[in-house]
Structure 1
Amino acid sequence: MFQKIGGSEVGRAAKWQGKDENSFLGAVTRALELFDLTQEDNRWKSRRRELDRAREVFADAVLGGREYKSNLKDLEKYFMLFALVAARKMNT
């Protein structure tokens, strides 16, 4: 579920970056909240390190990609791949 919802918020942040500050900050806030809520969910316990890294790279992209050279457009593509896999699993 995070792959779909979190990826959507990353996509929204990418869409609004540099265009509408309120919409951008809203999407960033929701994405960070979803990272945190997912971390707290014991079903994701074995993947917490992965989630930590994804959150860290997302935050880096929001802040200009200084640490990892990340950007929101690339992260949107990354999360979209997971969303597609998750959708396939739900349909089978």
Structure 2
Amino acid sequence: MTPQRSSHYRLLERTVDIHGALSEAQYAEIHRLLGQPPGRFKTWPGGYLFDLTKTSDVDRVLAYLREQRLPHTIAEERRWPVDEVR
């Protein structure tokens, strides 16, 4: 088997982890700002994780979290073109 090399991808993933409780109204508003229909609301003791990758206006989402004083962490993962052996 001959290894194949590939270096043709680039990816940026961005998520926001909200620590603590959210109200159902806050949950719905975050989904609205993300441009997504809200799923079924559940209370999670550890917090909520939202994908910001497909959101065109991340600043609006983050401004809302600050306005609501919701503690949160933003995580970003970047993958740039690299040689990989398959």
Richer in strand (by share): 2
- Same structural fold, with TM-score higher than 0.5 when normalized by the shorter chain: no
Query: Structure 2 length as normaliser, TM-score?
Result: 0.28
Report which of the two structures shows the higher radius of gyration computed on alpha carbons: 2
Richer in helix (by share): 1
Larger RCO (CA within 8 A; separation ≥ 6): 2
